[in-house]
Protein backbone atom coordinates (compact mmCIF):
# COMPACT_ATOMS: atom_id res chain seq x y z
CA UNK A 1 0.00 0.00 0.00
CA UNK A 2 1.42 3.33 -1.06
CA UNK A 3 1.81 5.95 1.65
CA UNK A 4 2.72 9.61 1.34
CA UNK A 5 4.00 11.73 4.21
CA UNK A 6 4.60 15.47 4.21
CA UNK A 7 7.31 17.06 6.33
CA UNK A 8 8.71 20.52 6.87
CA UNK A 9 8.53 23.60 9.08
CA UNK A 10 5.14 24.47 10.50
CA UNK A 11 5.95 28.16 10.78
CA UNK A 12 7.44 30.40 8.09
CA UNK A 13 8.05 34.12 8.28
CA UNK A 14 6.50 36.48 5.73
CA UNK A 15 8.63 37.02 2.61
CA UNK A 16 10.59 33.84 3.26
CA UNK A 17 10.45 30.52 1.42
CA UNK A 18 8.16 27.66 2.37
CA UNK A 19 9.84 24.28 1.83
CA UNK A 20 8.06 20.94 2.18
CA UNK A 21 8.99 17.37 1.33
CA UNK A 22 6.75 14.41 0.54
CA UNK A 23 8.19 10.96 1.20
CA UNK A 24 6.64 8.11 -0.74
CA UNK A 25 6.72 4.59 0.69
CA UNK A 26 5.31 1.32 -0.59
CA UNK A 27 6.17 2.14 -4.18
CA UNK A 28 8.79 3.77 -6.32
CA UNK A 29 8.42 7.40 -7.24
CA UNK A 30 10.25 6.72 -10.47
CA UNK A 31 7.78 4.22 -11.93
CA UNK A 32 6.75 6.57 -14.71
CA UNK A 33 3.05 5.90 -14.25
CA UNK A 34 2.20 8.76 -11.88
CA UNK A 35 2.24 12.50 -11.52
CA UNK A 36 3.27 13.75 -8.07
CA UNK A 37 1.21 16.67 -6.87
CA UNK A 38 0.87 19.37 -4.22
CA UNK A 39 -2.51 20.69 -3.10
CA UNK A 40 -3.33 23.11 -0.30
CA UNK A 41 -6.34 23.97 1.83
CA UNK A 42 -6.66 27.09 3.99
CA UNK A 43 -8.43 26.44 7.27
CA UNK A 44 -12.15 26.00 6.74
CA UNK A 45 -11.86 26.55 3.00
CA UNK A 46 -11.65 24.61 -0.23
CA UNK A 47 -8.85 22.85 -2.08
CA UNK A 48 -6.35 24.51 -4.41
CA UNK A 49 -4.14 22.58 -6.83
CA UNK A 50 -0.60 23.95 -6.65
CA UNK A 51 1.16 21.89 -9.28
CA UNK A 52 2.55 18.55 -10.31
CA UNK A 53 5.72 16.82 -11.41
CA UNK A 54 6.34 13.88 -13.70
CA UNK A 55 9.33 11.60 -13.24
CA UNK A 56 10.87 12.98 -16.43
CA UNK A 57 11.20 16.25 -14.54
CA UNK A 58 8.46 18.04 -16.43
CA UNK A 59 6.25 20.23 -14.31
CA UNK A 60 2.91 22.02 -14.47
CA UNK A 61 1.98 24.80 -12.06
CA UNK A 62 -1.14 26.74 -11.18
CA UNK A 63 -0.79 30.10 -12.98
CA UNK A 64 -1.92 31.84 -9.81
CA UNK A 65 1.26 30.64 -8.08
CA UNK A 66 3.56 29.89 -11.00
CA UNK A 67 6.02 32.71 -10.41
CA UNK A 68 6.66 31.53 -6.84
CA UNK A 69 6.47 27.71 -7.06
CA UNK A 70 9.03 25.00 -7.74
CA UNK A 71 8.33 21.27 -7.45
CA UNK A 72 11.30 18.93 -7.69
CA UNK A 73 12.12 15.25 -7.44
CA UNK A 74 14.74 13.29 -5.48
CA UNK A 75 14.52 9.72 -6.75
CA UNK A 76 17.37 8.54 -4.51
CA UNK A 77 15.25 9.32 -1.46
CA UNK A 78 11.88 8.53 -3.07
CA UNK A 79 10.78 12.08 -2.32
CA UNK A 80 9.45 15.13 -4.06
CA UNK A 81 9.49 18.67 -2.76
CA UNK A 82 7.66 21.98 -2.86
CA UNK A 83 9.21 25.42 -2.61
CA UNK A 84 7.03 28.51 -2.44
CA UNK A 85 8.85 31.82 -2.30
CA UNK A 86 7.87 35.23 -0.92
CA UNK A 87 5.12 33.84 1.28
CA UNK A 88 2.40 35.94 2.89
CA UNK A 89 -0.38 35.18 5.35
CA UNK A 90 -2.51 34.12 2.39
CA UNK A 91 -0.24 31.07 2.01
CA UNK A 92 -1.23 29.77 5.45
CA UNK A 93 -2.86 26.41 4.83
CA UNK A 94 -2.71 22.65 5.20
CA UNK A 95 -0.46 21.38 2.43
CA UNK A 96 -1.11 17.94 0.98
CA UNK A 97 0.96 15.82 -1.36
CA UNK A 98 -0.93 13.39 -3.56
CA UNK A 99 -0.50 10.89 -6.34
CA UNK A 100 -2.20 11.24 -9.72
CA UNK A 101 -2.17 8.05 -11.81
CA UNK A 102 -1.34 8.09 -15.50
CA UNK A 103 -3.16 5.56 -17.64
CA UNK A 104 -1.41 4.69 -20.88
CA UNK A 105 -2.72 2.51 -23.68
CA UNK A 106 -2.00 2.28 -27.36
CA UNK A 107 0.51 5.08 -27.28
CA UNK A 108 -1.73 7.63 -25.58
CA UNK A 109 -1.92 8.51 -21.92
CA UNK A 110 -4.62 9.97 -19.71
CA UNK A 111 -4.45 11.39 -16.22
CA UNK A 112 -6.69 10.16 -13.40
CA UNK A 113 -8.09 11.33 -10.07
CA UNK A 114 -5.88 11.70 -7.00
CA UNK A 115 -5.84 8.19 -5.55
CA UNK A 116 -3.48 8.53 -2.59
CA UNK A 117 -2.94 11.54 -0.32
CA UNK A 118 -0.65 12.37 2.54
CA UNK A 119 -2.19 13.31 5.89
CA UNK A 120 -1.33 16.94 5.31
CA UNK A 121 0.91 19.38 7.15
CA UNK A 122 -0.18 22.73 8.53
CA UNK A 123 1.99 25.68 7.56
CA UNK A 124 1.44 29.05 9.18
CA UNK A 125 2.98 32.21 7.77
CA UNK A 126 3.55 34.65 10.59
CA UNK A 127 6.29 36.78 12.06
CA UNK B 1 -9.50 27.96 -15.63
CA UNK B 2 -12.50 25.65 -15.41
CA UNK B 3 -14.82 26.82 -12.64
CA UNK B 4 -16.54 24.13 -10.59
CA UNK B 5 -19.72 25.09 -8.76
CA UNK B 6 -21.38 22.79 -6.25
CA UNK B 7 -24.90 22.95 -4.88
CA UNK B 8 -26.12 23.16 -2.28
CA UNK B 9 -23.40 24.51 0.02
CA UNK B 10 -24.86 22.46 2.85
CA UNK B 11 -27.39 19.68 3.07
CA UNK B 12 -29.15 17.98 5.99
CA UNK B 13 -30.64 14.55 5.34
CA UNK B 14 -32.25 12.02 7.67
CA UNK B 15 -30.54 8.70 8.30
CA UNK B 16 -31.54 6.17 5.67
CA UNK B 17 -32.73 8.83 3.26
CA UNK B 18 -31.24 9.79 -0.11
CA UNK B 19 -28.74 12.62 -0.46
CA UNK B 20 -28.19 14.32 -3.80
CA UNK B 21 -25.19 16.59 -4.36
CA UNK B 22 -24.68 18.56 -7.55
CA UNK B 23 -21.64 19.84 -9.41
CA UNK B 24 -21.51 22.02 -12.51
CA UNK B 25 -18.43 22.85 -14.59
CA UNK B 26 -17.93 25.98 -16.68
CA UNK B 27 -16.94 23.86 -19.66
CA UNK B 28 -17.44 20.30 -20.78
CA UNK B 29 -15.36 17.64 -19.04
CA UNK B 30 -16.12 15.04 -21.70
CA UNK B 31 -13.05 14.08 -23.73
CA UNK B 32 -14.28 13.07 -27.16
CA UNK B 33 -11.45 10.69 -28.03
CA UNK B 34 -12.22 8.28 -25.19
CA UNK B 35 -15.77 9.35 -24.25
CA UNK B 36 -14.75 9.81 -20.60
CA UNK B 37 -15.76 12.58 -18.24
CA UNK B 38 -12.77 13.82 -16.24
CA UNK B 39 -14.68 14.39 -13.01
CA UNK B 40 -14.01 13.01 -9.53
CA UNK B 41 -15.85 13.15 -6.21
CA UNK B 42 -14.00 13.24 -2.89
CA UNK B 43 -15.15 12.87 0.71
CA UNK B 44 -13.33 14.79 3.42
CA UNK B 45 -13.89 14.23 7.13
CA UNK B 46 -12.52 16.64 9.76
CA UNK B 47 -8.78 16.38 10.22
CA UNK B 48 -8.39 13.98 7.29
CA UNK B 49 -7.27 14.34 3.70
CA UNK B 50 -9.85 13.97 0.95
CA UNK B 51 -10.63 10.44 -0.15
CA UNK B 52 -11.62 9.69 -3.72
CA UNK B 53 -15.04 8.05 -4.01
CA UNK B 54 -15.84 8.32 -7.69
CA UNK B 55 -13.68 8.89 -10.77
CA UNK B 56 -14.60 9.28 -14.43
CA UNK B 57 -17.90 10.75 -13.15
CA UNK B 58 -19.42 7.36 -12.39
CA UNK B 59 -16.73 4.78 -11.54
CA UNK B 60 -16.80 3.84 -7.88
CA UNK B 61 -13.33 3.36 -6.37
CA UNK B 62 -12.38 0.05 -4.81
CA UNK B 63 -13.79 -0.31 -1.31
CA UNK B 64 -16.32 2.50 -1.61
CA UNK B 65 -19.79 1.36 -0.47
CA UNK B 66 -22.30 0.89 -3.26
CA UNK B 67 -24.67 3.40 -1.70
CA UNK B 68 -22.43 6.02 -3.35
CA UNK B 69 -23.02 6.58 -7.05
CA UNK B 70 -22.04 9.21 -9.57
CA UNK B 71 -23.81 10.31 -12.71
CA UNK B 72 -23.82 13.03 -15.31
CA UNK B 73 -21.86 14.06 -18.37
CA UNK B 74 -20.51 17.17 -20.01
CA UNK B 75 -21.03 19.97 -17.53
CA UNK B 76 -23.56 18.61 -15.03
CA UNK B 77 -22.81 15.92 -12.48
CA UNK B 78 -24.44 14.36 -9.43
CA UNK B 79 -23.24 12.36 -6.45
CA UNK B 80 -26.00 10.32 -4.86
CA UNK B 81 -25.89 8.59 -1.50
CA UNK B 82 -28.82 6.21 -1.63
CA UNK B 83 -29.27 5.63 2.11
CA UNK B 84 -27.42 8.04 4.35
CA UNK B 85 -25.37 6.53 7.16
CA UNK B 86 -23.94 8.37 10.16
CA UNK B 87 -20.39 7.86 8.88
CA UNK B 88 -21.22 9.75 5.69
CA UNK B 89 -21.20 13.11 7.51
CA UNK B 90 -18.42 14.99 5.70
CA UNK B 91 -17.67 17.66 3.15
CA UNK B 92 -17.87 16.45 -0.43
CA UNK B 93 -15.87 18.01 -3.26
CA UNK B 94 -16.04 17.56 -6.99
CA UNK B 95 -12.87 18.06 -9.01
CA UNK B 96 -12.11 18.32 -12.71
CA UNK B 97 -8.96 16.70 -14.05
CA UNK B 98 -9.74 17.53 -17.68
CA UNK B 99 -7.15 20.27 -17.88
CA UNK B 100 -4.65 22.03 -15.68
CA UNK B 101 -4.92 23.95 -13.48
CA UNK B 102 -7.11 21.29 -11.90
CA UNK B 103 -9.93 22.86 -9.92
CA UNK B 104 -12.28 21.82 -7.16
CA UNK B 105 -15.78 22.86 -6.27
CA UNK B 106 -16.27 24.83 -3.07
CA UNK B 107 -17.67 21.75 -1.30
CA UNK B 108 -21.02 20.56 0.02
CA UNK B 109 -21.25 19.98 3.76
CA UNK B 110 -23.47 16.99 4.48
CA UNK B 111 -25.02 16.52 7.90
CA UNK B 112 -27.68 14.45 9.59
CA UNK B 113 -31.14 15.99 9.98
Q: Do A100 and B103 touch (CB under 8 A)?
A: no
Which of A48, A96, A113 is closest, CB to CB, to B52? A113
Report pLDDT for B31.
94
Confidence of residue A104 (pLDDT cuts 50, 70, 90): confident
CA proximity to A60, closest of A76, A77, A42, A38: A38
Backbone torsion region of residue B70, taken as left when φ is above 0, otherwise alpha when ψ lies between -120 and 50, otherwise beta: beta
Distance from CA of B84 to the nearest CA of A (A): 23
Residue from B4, B37, B41, B49 whose CB has the most chain A CBs within 10 Å, to mutate: B49
What would the mean pLDDT of A72-78 be, rounded to a whole number? Answer: 95
Contact A114 B106 (CB under 8 A): no
Which of A94, A115, A78, A71 is closest to B48 using CA atoms?
A: A94
Q: Which residues have C-beta within 8 Å of that of residue B65, sequence separation ≥ 6?
A: none
Q: Which has more pLDDT, A36 or A110?
A: A36
pLDDT at B57 over 90: yes
CA distance B54 to chain A (A): 9
The confidence score (pLDDT) of residue A118 equals 98
Considering chain A, what is the average pLDDT of its residues? 95
pLDDT digits (tens, 9 = 90+) for B19-56: 999 999 999 999 998 899 999 999 999 999 999 999 99
Q: Do B34 and A118 touch (CB under 8 A)?
A: no
Which of A30-34, A73-77, B26-30 is least confident? Answer: A30-34
The rounded Cα B108 to chain-centroid distance in angstroms is 9
Instruction: Specify the pLDDT at position A13.
Output: 98
Residues B50-67 have a mean pLDDT of 98
Q: Smallest CA–CA separation between A68 and chain B, in Å?
A: 15
Q: DSSP for A74-101?
A: ETTTTEEEEEE-S--GGG-EEEEEEEEE
Q: For the beta carbon of residue A29, count every other beta carbon within 10 angstroms.
A: 24
Measured CA to CA, the distance from residue A47 to residue A43 in angstroms comes to 10
Report the run of H or E that residue B90 belongs to, with start and end: strand B90-96
Question: Helix or strand or coil: residue B88?
Answer: helix
pLDDT digits (tens, 9 = 90+) for A39-60: 999 999 999 999 999 988 899 9
Amino acid sequence: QVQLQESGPGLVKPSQTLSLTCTVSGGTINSGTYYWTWIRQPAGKGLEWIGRLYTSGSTSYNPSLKSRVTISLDTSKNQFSLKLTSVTAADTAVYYCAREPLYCSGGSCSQGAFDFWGQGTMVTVSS
Amino acid sequence: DIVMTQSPDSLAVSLGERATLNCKSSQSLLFSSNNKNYLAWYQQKPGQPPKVLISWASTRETGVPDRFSGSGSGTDFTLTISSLQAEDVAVYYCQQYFSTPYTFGQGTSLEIK
